[in-house]
Structure formats: structure tokens, C-alpha cells
Amino acid sequence: MNCMAIEQRGEVILVDCGVTFDDRGLGVDVVHPDFTALDSFGSRIAGIIVTHGHEDHIGALPYILRRHDVPVWAPPYALGLIRERLGEHEVLAHARLHATKPRTPFTVGSFGIEPIRVTHSIADATALAITTDAGTIIHSGDFKFDDAPPDGETFDVERLSQLGDEGVTLLMSDSTNIDAEGPTGNEIDVGHVLEGMIENAPAAVVVAMFASNIHRLRLLGDIARRTKRKIVLLGRGVGTHARVARNTGYLPWPDDLVWPDRQARELPRSRVLAVATGSQGEANAALAKLARGEHPALDLGPGDRIILSARTIPGNEPGVHALLGQLIRRGCDVRTRLSDRGVHVSGHAHRPEQRRMIELVRPKCFVPVHGTIHHLTRHGELAKDAGVEQVCVIENGRIAEVTTEGVVRGPSVPTGRVHVFAGRAIPPAVLREREVLAEEGFASCAVTLDGAGSVADVSLVTRGVVDEVEYPEEIQAARAAVRHAIADLDAFADDARVAEQARLAVRRAFFKSRGKKPMTVVHVRRSS
């Protein structure tokens, strides 16, 4: 959910505007930053500059552009993805979009911006050199040092080093892999490993990976040609990325390389090289459908090889293992990083390459970005160790004040998360209710009072609390507790007091029997 605001002379630019995901199963599509702190700038938001096309850097653009009509600059591949996304949200028509190019500076308000080519797990990634009143700021974007990127667009080490010679006030750099030692590894080596596994496969091969990794898609295209297979794209994400990459020249695939997924069954199995979404075990993605035998394009069985060419994001392991288990039961030959090292490399610099970035730029000040407080703190320590004078670790909402003299921590501004479903924000109270429902369950209680204010009837229905058929006595006990609680009230108690008394009684009863306090709704009726 990357979104960095840089302010000078009362105006603001944003670097990236991304989303994150909520995997608690509460019906949330995406989560974007709360933009309230930017509202006071209004028309003084001069623009948004995007470093690359990953969701955690572009996904929130539709939401901010609905609120603030500001121009956006992005590299062409990211811009292709942004257009798709804005089109889905019907904000494309009025959007002002500009393509950026490495080593081609432009101005946004009082800021000078120069994109610099970096390598990453998506094509067309950039760092930014930003000219400000306090000197040059470099924002690394997401990066690693890949010496031989498949698209030939090499990391512009020379330009960063030049800027370092001229003097850089502040470096903000990607902290993701601060805990990883050793070399990050090149994408082309993943290609070699995959090729070995694909050329000796007897039947269909499915490679599950992040759809945005255009480098890897490109390598798979080359491998398909050499091994006389056809590429079959399974899943919406790979379809979108392949289309945008082909339109922007990042995927020079001839038309006859890609086989239409709907006709995949017509192809001999030994000629299928499928690329599937869903490497994180997502239930609705292509890989999960293949594992369940529900994919309309392809059935997998003995002899077919599945290669999980991705890292499993912490937290997703149980889902991924369950899915791989389903594939193994189908008789598939399942390969992962654990069986075959080298089927995946990270797109983020490991520690030694993070150090190389700092040593290239040689900034006066350092602010680590893109990571938890743990990652940021360790990255800050690395910068100090590499000789940076001033290091400032800030978390979301905290301001760092930068002058030519240095950097200090400033005040905080309000920040937070906005949870979205179907393009609309889910109110925090509603989300909280969903959490309670999932944790505690639900009870509905109807209390009927007679003319004298005595309890005539109590009915009670629960969901997600107790098996009512197996344990009727618990329901009886809760109903009795409601009767008792209301009997304690005086005869003049109004409906609201009766309802509250009943609600507390239901919750107490189930807390006693089940350790749960279900969300309880009470209706009070008076019979005359």
C-alpha cells in the first residue's frame, strides 16, 4: 500500500498510490490508504508519479482520482495497467495520464523528476531522482540488481552513481529483503532451471506464478518455442498482463505462440505449457480450479507437471499446501522451491544489494521505505553501517522534515486503511461487525410481553454458536436466563430496557456454556 507524499512550498506530489489485501475472509476486495490527510491540499496536489506497475504501487489510483483530479506520470507498461484499472472504475475518461521515460526529466509543480531504470520482478520499473529546494532526493522504487534482465533494459547504475557524485540529500530505499543474505539471483537463471524441468516433462506443464512477472513470461515464451510447446494463459491476471505487455512491446510474442485457452483440450498434452494465476492458493484463481478439477480449459492427471514458480507469502502456506495436496492426489508431479531450488528468485534486493544501492548514491540522509518497522529499522542500521550520516525511520503517517542540513522526525498526520468491496468503502463499524460475527456468532431473540408487562414468550435462534439440535438444553437455559433477567425489571420498564436486559442475558448464558458472546439482536413485542 505504498503512497509517499512529498511537500514543498505548500504543494504536494505523491510517489506511487497502491493497495494491499485483507485475507481475513471478511469480504474485502482491496484495502487502500486513507487519503484524508491530503484533502487540505486540494488543488495544490501537483501530481502522482508512479515507479512501476505492481498493485501495491498503482492499485489505489482509481480511489484517489475520484477524490482529486490530478495528473499521473508512469512508465508505459505501468500506464497500460493503470488504463485497464481506471477503465474498470469509470474514471479513465477524465484522467490525465503521461508516460515517463528513463533519463528524461520533467517538472511537476516546483519539483523536477527524473526516472532512472532499475530492475525488478516487473518490466519497466524505475527509481526517481527528485529535485527539491532541499537538494536531490532519490526514491529507489522496488528494485534488485539483475545483471542480465530478459528484456535487456539494464539497471542504470551509471546514472545513480553520477547523481551520487553530484551530491544527494536523501535516499529512500526498498527494505523488503533486509533479512535475506547472499545474492538475490537473476531472472535468466530461473529461465534455465524452468527450461530443464519443461523439456523433460512427459505431458502438460503448468507454471504457476505472479502474472505481473513479464520477464518470466518472456522466458517461458522462449522456452515454449524451443521445446515445441504452445503457451496457454490460464487466469484473468496473466491474460491482462500478457495483453498489456504485448501492446507496450515488452512481450514480443508471435501470434502463433499463444494457444487459445478454450481450445487447450485439442492440443496434445506434451505440447501444453500453461501459465496459471493463483500461486498463493487463491480459491478462485486458475491453479485452484485446476487442482479441484473444475477448470473449463484443462484437466490435469498423472504425468502432468506443476511448477510453483513463486514464493509463498507468509500466512498463505496452509492454503498453498492444501492446493498442492489436491494436485498430488490427482497424480501430478508437483515441483516447488523446496524440491527444485532456483524455480523462483525475488524481485527485491537482498541485504548486500541494498548496501550497494546506498554506496552508489552516498546520500547525506536515509529514510528506509517498503517494509514493517522491523525491516525499516534494520535497513536504517545498514545505512549507518555504510557511512550515512543521518538515518530517520518513520512509519505510516509520520512526517520526516528534510533540509539541506539533514532530516528530522516531524509530527504525524492521520492515516489508516480503507477497506473496499465492489468499488465502495466498507464502513469501519460494518467491518468490525463482520469480525465479531466470525469470532462469536449470532443470536436473535424475540421477547413477547403480556398486558401486565410479564414475559409471555421468549424465542431464540442462533447461528454459528451452538448445534441447537444436539444441545437443546443450552438454548433452553439461555431462554430461561432471559425470562429471569426481565422478571428482575420493574413493570414500567420500556422496550429498550427490556431488550438490553435480554441481550445481556443471552450473551452471558452463551459465555457460560460456550465461552462466546454472540452478537445478539432482540425484538420486544407487547400482546394486548
Closest by Cα among 235, 223, 313, 311 to 271: 223
- In 3-state terms the chain splits into helix, strand, coil percentages (rounded to 5) of 35, 25, 40
Q: How far apart are the first and last CA of the chain?
A: 58
Closest by Cα among 76, 240, 88 to 65: 88
As measured in angstroms, the least distance from the Cβ of 4 to Zn ion is 12
Which residues touch 196 (CB under 8 Å, ≥6 apart)?
none
Q: Which is nearer to Zn ion, 19 or 443 (CB)?
A: 19
Q: Distance between alpha carbon 97 and the CA centroid of its chain, in Å?
A: 23
Q: Which is nearer to Zn ion, 56 or 124 (CB)?
A: 56
Q: Which is nearer to Zn ion, 4 or 92 (CB)?
A: 4
Q: Which is nearer to Zn ion, 100 or 132 (CB)?
A: 100
Give dist(CA 335, CA 287) in Å, integer.
14
DSSP state of 311: P
As measured in angstroms, the least distance from the Cβ of 290 to Zn ion is 27
Which set of grid coordinates corresponds to residue 83?
Answer: 488504463
As measured in angstroms, the least distance from the Cβ of 123 to Zn ion is 11
As measured in angstroms, the least distance from the Cβ of 46 to Zn ion is 23
Closest by Cα among 500, 485, 497 to 455: 485
As measured in angstroms, the least distance from the Cβ of 141 to Zn ion is 8
- Is residue 232 within 8 A of residue 265, CB to CB? The reply is no
As measured in angstroms, the least distance from the Cβ of 118 to Zn ion is 10
Q: Which is nearer to Zn ion, 46 or 244 (CB)?
A: 244
As measured in angstroms, the least distance from the Cβ of 32 to Zn ion is 14
Q: Distance between alpha carbon 136 and the CA centroid of its chain, in Å?
A: 30
Neighbours of 218 (CB within 10 A): 22
Q: Distance between alpha carbon 268 and the CA centroid of its chain, in Å?
A: 36
- Contacting positions for Zn ion (CB under 5 A): 54, 56, 142
As measured in angstroms, the least distance from the Cβ of 347 to Zn ion is 6
CA angle centred on 335, ends 333 and 338, rounded to 5°: 140
Which set of grid coordinates corresponds to residue 506?
Answer: 443471552
As measured in angstroms, the least distance from the Cβ of 56 to Zn ion is 4
Q: Which is nearer to Zn ion, 54 or 503 (CB)?
A: 54
User: Which contacts qualify for 471-479: CB closer than 8 Å, 24 or more apart?
Assistant: 474/509, 474/510, 474/513, 474/514, 477/509, 477/513, 478/443, 478/505, 478/506, 478/509, 478/510, 478/513
Q: Which is nearer to Zn ion, 56 or 282 (CB)?
A: 56
Q: Which is nearer to Zn ion, 56 or 187 (CB)?
A: 56
Q: Which is nearer to Zn ion, 166 or 395 (CB)?
A: 395
